[in-house]
Structure 1
Amino acid sequence: MDRYGVDHHPDRTFPNGTLCRAGGGCRRSRRVKTTDANAVLAYRPLHAADAAAAHRLTQSIHWSHRLIDWQALLRNGTGVAALAGDEIVGVAMYWLHDDTHASLGMVITAPDYQGQGIDREMVERVMPALAGRSVLVNAFADSRSMYEDLGFVLVGRVERHQGAVFEAQPIALAPGQRVRPMSVGEGPALAALCARAAGISRGHALENLRPARDCVVLERDGVAQGFALCRRVGGAHVIGPVVAPDIDSAKLLINHWMATHLDVYLRIDVVGCPPLDTWINARGLLPAITFLSMVRGEAPQGDATMRLFTLVNLALG
């Protein structure tokens, strides 16, 4: 564990057979129980009151989510819980973005119950609630075959970068440009920019912001051209979403948060943009893991004049 309180161990397998990756996330190795999932488990809807139990579940697989992070996830999403007795040993969540799109995420099984098909069972149980919608998921590579069996197809990749920046490197603004704090009441306008970029309405991702602290806006000649959030999630400050018309504008926004968070542990999930990956690596945030962006149904199409460069989180997209 480093001075930021973040464990940078290499990939390693714990005595119970759980494989934990350096980039975050755990999967059970082949040494697993052979009991059929449905023979010992009950399934029920996931509730807001399950936040503490879900938090303990992520602790069991060495994810850094805090209780407050789970409360935020459950505020706008729901899903299914797998129970062994009264204990929650698995969850799968989903979020409805609009009438035609949804996201699937936080598909987690406790270490002692991995390798039994519980992940798949939970996903199959939530899919009927998403009927008629295109469903997006950002998955670990070793889950690809499961999602393909369920009708998902690969549409892209998300590259996670993490680390700290120790020196500010100013980037010159174009004439008429400025980076300013988000104004009170500006959330709906920024949510509209995000919807243009992603092809999905994700207004709930901008809820509960502290405008002067959480979000900055790139403005040119008085018109908002893009924005970027930076918030504490788990053991890191996450820069995302970053919405901008082009990569240079995205760099301006990301660079603002880097300069105001020197010597702070940062994480950025970049959506299919190798030139931005290269620039972020050069700034000191190193590649950690690649996630697969998959969709069941029609992939959303954003506006060609606006782009989603980084995610608010992997689950919400």
Structure 2
Amino acid sequence: MLRTMTRADLGRALDWAAEEGWNPGLEDLEVFHATDPGGFFCAELGGKMAAAISVVNHSPSLAFLGLYLCAPAYRGQGIAHALWLHALKHAGDRTVGLDGVPAQQENYRKSGFVLAGQTKRYAGALRPGHGKGVTSASAADHPLLIEMERRACGYAKPTFCAAWLEPAQTRYTLVHRSNGTPDGFLTLRRCRDGWKIGPLCAPGIEVAKTLLEAAAQHSEDDQVMIDLPQESAPLAAHCLEMGLEPMFHTARMYRGPAPLPGPGLHAVATLELG
């Protein structure tokens, strides 16, 4: 049976993601589900969840695919592929993006996805510093930050970003201000192992460095992970200079017209929802 996930099902899928080494955030579930409650799907056999996938509609023009997982006992039987076809119907005629493992590029291509670039994960401890001009985000900042992120990545995620920017016990959004006006920000969240940063938007590398220095005050000496598209070369170079190490890369692919990233250094919010 192919059906829409419940919140409990999504929690189970995130546990599977953790077992695969994807390291979800401690408070991802509620934000993910609230973004598009009808965009999470599972295959069920004998009362047990066999496979999972998400196709979350962010806007009338774009959806994002993620959390494509199959329990080991059910692999190689066509169950996950049937779920894939079922879930993609949810996107309608929207462009659909994904960040997939490179080994699956050919399979994604058969479903109409075209390679647009790579996203590389860097991991390590951040270098502490003064973080001058950085404060916690306020509710009044949110509309500007959402627009800043839209320009940087090339597509809008208004429902997701509005929830993502809300403060939580293990998720913080920090804003850099010039003359009192926000010109860059990042979100830092505690994960099952260490922390992840995403998104990060900044007008240049100096603001990005200052934001990362401020984030280090929260993460201390713990490992921090950040996912950078290939357009973020200056930020990638700074990560290497700080001693962060590249872990793996994913293939950014789209079915339909690909959005065009705008100016501004950028880190991906999540590999699951874009």
* TM-score (structure 1 length as normaliser): 0.76
Alignment CA distance shift 1:156-1:222 (3 Å): same
1:259-279, Cα deviation, whole Å (9 max, x unpaired): 442211211101113332232
Question: 1:242 — aligned with what?
Answer: 200
Alignment CA distance shift 1:130-1:256 (3 Å): same
Q: Is residue 2:166 matched to residue 1:207?
A: no
Contact 2:208/2:265 (<8 A) preserved:
no
C-alpha distance in 1 between matches for 2:120 and 2:15: 27
Runs of 4+ in 1 over 6 A off after TM superposition: none
Contact 1:82/1:89 (<8 A) preserved:
yes
Contact 2:188/2:215 (<8 A) preserved:
yes
**How many residue pairs are counted as aligned between the two chains?**
268
SS in 2 for 1:106: strand
Contact 1:57/1:90 (<8 A) preserved:
no
Aligned to 1:96, which of 57, 67, 92?
57
Q: Is residue 2:244 matched to residue 1:311?
A: no
The equivalences for 1:1-317 within 5 A come to 42-65=1-24, 68-77=27-36, 78-165=39-126, 167-169=127-129, 178-203=133-158, 204-207=160-163, 209-210=166-167, 214-272=172-230, 273-304=232-263, 307=264, 309-317=266-274
SS in 2 for 1:219: strand
Contact 1:80/1:93 (<8 A) preserved:
yes
1:204-240, Cα deviation, whole Å (9 max, x unpaired): 2341622897111122222221211111133221111
* Structure whose CA Rg is larger: 1
Alignment CA distance shift 1:93-1:133 (3 Å): same
Contact 2:43/2:80 (<8 A) preserved:
no
Q: Judging by fraction of residues, say which structure has more helix.
A: 2
C-alpha distance in 2 between matches for 1:240 and 1:55: 18
Which amino acid in the other structure matches residue 290 of structure 1?
H
Displacement of 1:170: 5.4
Alignment CA distance shift 1:275-1:62 (3 Å): closer
C-alpha distance in 1 between matches for 2:233 and 2:80: 31
Displacement of 1:63: 4.4
Alignment CA distance shift 1:63-1:303 (3 Å): closer
C-alpha distance in 2 between matches for 1:67 and 1:309: 23
Contact 1:196/1:302 (<8 A) preserved:
yes
Displacement of 1:246: 2.4
Alignment CA distance shift 1:262-1:68 (3 Å): closer
Alignment CA distance shift 1:184-1:69 (3 Å): closer
Displacement of 1:96: 1.3
C-alpha distance in 1 between matches for 2:239 and 2:149: 22
Which amino acid in the other structure matches residue 139 of structure 1?
G
Please list every run of 5 or more consecutive structure 1 residues that lacks an aligned counterpart in the other structure: 1-41
Which amino acid in the other structure matches residue 149 of structure 2?
C
200-209 or 218-227: which moved more?
Answer: 200-209
C-alpha distance in 2 between matches for 1:60 and 1:229: 24
Contact 1:218/1:226 (<8 A) preserved:
yes
C-alpha distance in 1 between matches for 2:168 and 2:5: 31
Alignment CA distance shift 1:218-1:68 (3 Å): closer
C-alpha distance in 2 between matches for 1:57 and 1:264: 23
C-alpha distance in 1 between matches for 2:162 and 2:211: 17
130-139 or 276-285: which moved more?
Answer: 276-285
Contact 1:90/1:110 (<8 A) preserved:
yes
Displacement of 1:48: 2.4
Please list every run of 5 or more consecutive structure 2 residues that lacks an aligned counterpart in the other structure: none
